[in-house]
């Protein structure tokens, strides 16, 4: 009980903070191929190694210098703490972590945006039928439990993540004042859940430290509308009953990496790999106004793949840290829409896209210019190419196994494009307290080619 009270009190400390995100981004953002405390969000077993800390991030993403002037500052704070109980079990809680941080949205988010282009809170639409708004995700919650510490030969951890939104609106209409009301109830719900199980081997004194993780995520969103009309003071009849839904966005994935070399000094090498697969489904039901209409027969099926493999190299001395990584990343998306064409026929539209990033190179360094001041700089370059396949198939018969009688396919090769991002940062470390911020970032060759004054400000407190 005492340990639980300690954890809750740490969540309320104004200096409770987390500096991982800003530091990694300022060093070239090679998160998968480095040994860093922020990796605990990818592999929860590492929460046991980097325990007894509290963190808070302001997450400042602008102001940015745009042709129209200085943009509005956007702040997305997150924070939490992790404590070790009796040197055996670590418990951690993180509040308000954005679902797209730390590679969380790999494969999951591309599928979701095929149903909700603006993400949760935006419009939900399928291949046919209406377009309705959804409930936004609010106040994400991370819960960690891990066993072991930095000296254990094996650590095991579990992370549960949930974010949800729920709204309900009532509308009552009696304009003619006859005491017979027209009532409409609209319910919107959005849910996002993810579970990650990880293992981490080797103590900080071992030269080989392997780790691996598996994760399962699920997202759903629906807009449900029901209405009734009073026909007398004692009777009423339904007027509308329909639901528009992203029934599922299921993601399964995992990865592994091996750190080879000294964890605190000299050269270490980190080869790594991760892969995620996601699949989604759509549904529209209109039970009263137009039941069994062609819009209800429309189907949308989406699948996404995201794979990344590479190797990182780190060199450490007392005052200098240099990190580099080279990787190959492949992302693929496939969407199939079936529309009712009448007379037991369907029209099928298929889109397939593949993006290949090779090579993906990052390089960063930090140098301690003063016992409490650290300067950082990093660059990241990517060469992206790929192809897009658009297929139109007219078919008839059973939609599960239609007879195709017309196929038109177009293959477009995406032009090779190179992007370069550069960033710098400052770290302040005073005993157990540290602050990290990115003081400038510039993206060249991409749509976001505007410099940012501050893109992240993080704080941290270590109470070991």
Q: What is the pLDDT of residues 115-138, one digit of tens each?
A: 999 889 999 988 887 889 999 998
CA angle (144, 147, 148) in 5-degree steps: 130
Which tens digits make up the pLDDT trace of 200-242? Answer: 999 888 999 999 999 999 999 999 988 878 777 667 777 778 8
Which tens digits make up the pLDDT trace of 61-111? Answer: 544 444 444 444 456 677 888 899 888 899 999 988 888 777 788 999 999
| Distance in angstroms (rounded) separating the CA atoms of residues 3 and 157 | 19
Share of the chain above pLDDT 90, in %: 29
Residue 280: per-residue pLDDT: 95
CA angle (20, 23, 26) in 5-degree steps: 145
Q: Once rounded to an integer, what is the mean pLDDT over residues 179-189?
A: 82
Q: Which residues contact 353 (CB under 8 A, 6 or more apart)?
A: 332, 333, 334, 386, 387, 388, 389
Q: Is the pLDDT of residue 330 over 70?
A: yes
Q: Is the pLDDT of residue 1 over 70?
A: no
């Amino acid at each position: 009980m005492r340990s639980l009270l300690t954890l809750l009190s740490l969540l309320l400390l104004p200096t409770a903070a987390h500096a991982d995100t800003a530091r990694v981004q300022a060093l070239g953002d090679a998160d998968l191929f480095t040994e860093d405390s922020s990796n605990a969000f990818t592999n929860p077993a590492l929460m046991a190694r980097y325990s007894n800390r509290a963190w808070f991030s302001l997450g400042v993403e602008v102001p940015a210098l745009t042709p129209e002037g200085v943009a509005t500052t956007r702040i997305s704070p997150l924070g939490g703490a992790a404590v070790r109980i009796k040197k055996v079990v670590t418990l951690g809680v993180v509040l308000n972590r954005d679902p797209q941080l730390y590679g969380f949205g790999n494969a999951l988010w591309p599928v979701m945006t095929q149903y909700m282009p603006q993400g949760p809170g935006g419009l939900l639409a399928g291949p046919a039928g209406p377009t309705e708004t959804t409930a936004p995700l609010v106040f994400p919650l991370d819960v960690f439990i891990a066993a072991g510490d930095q000296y254990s030969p094996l650590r095991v951890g579990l992370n549960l993540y949930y974010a949800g939104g729920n709204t309900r609106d009532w509308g009552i209409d009696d304009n003619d004042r006859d005491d017979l009301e027209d009532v409409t109830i609209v319910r919107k719900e959005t849910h996002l859940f993810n579970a990650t199980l990880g293992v981490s081997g080797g103590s900080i004194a071992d030269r080989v430290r392997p780790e691996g993780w598996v994760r399962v995520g699920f997202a759903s969103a629906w807009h449900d509308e029901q209405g009734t009309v009073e026909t007398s003071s004692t009777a009423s009849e339904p007027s509308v009953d329909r639901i528009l839904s992203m029934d599922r966005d299921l993601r399964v994935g995992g990865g592994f990496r091996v750190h080879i070399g000294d964890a605190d000094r000299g050269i270490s090498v980190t080869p790594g790999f991760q892969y995620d697969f996601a699949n989604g489904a759509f549904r529209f039901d209109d039970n009263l106004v137009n039941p069994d209409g062609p819009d209800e027969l429309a189907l949308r099926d989406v699948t996404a793949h995201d794979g990344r493999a590479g190797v990182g190299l780190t060199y450490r001395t007392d005052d200098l840290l240099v990190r580099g990584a080279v990787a190959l990343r492949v992302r693929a998306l496939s969407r199939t829409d079936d529309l009712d064409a009448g007379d037991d026929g369907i029209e099928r539209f298929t889109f397939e896209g593949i993006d290949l990033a090779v090579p993906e190179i990052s390089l960063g360094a930090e140098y301690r210019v003063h016992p409490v001041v650290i300067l950082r700089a990093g660059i990241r370059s990517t060469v992206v190419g790929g192809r897009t396949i658009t297929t139109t198939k007219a078919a008839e018969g059973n939609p599960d196994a239609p007879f195709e009688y017309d196929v038109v396919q177009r293959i477009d090769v995406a032009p090779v494009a190179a992007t370069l991002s550069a960033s710098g940062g400052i770290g302040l470390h005073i005993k157990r307290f540290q602050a990290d911020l990115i003081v400038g970032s510039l993206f060249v060759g991409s749509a976001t080619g505007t410099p940012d004054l501050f893109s992240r400000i993080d704080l941290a407190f270590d109470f070991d």
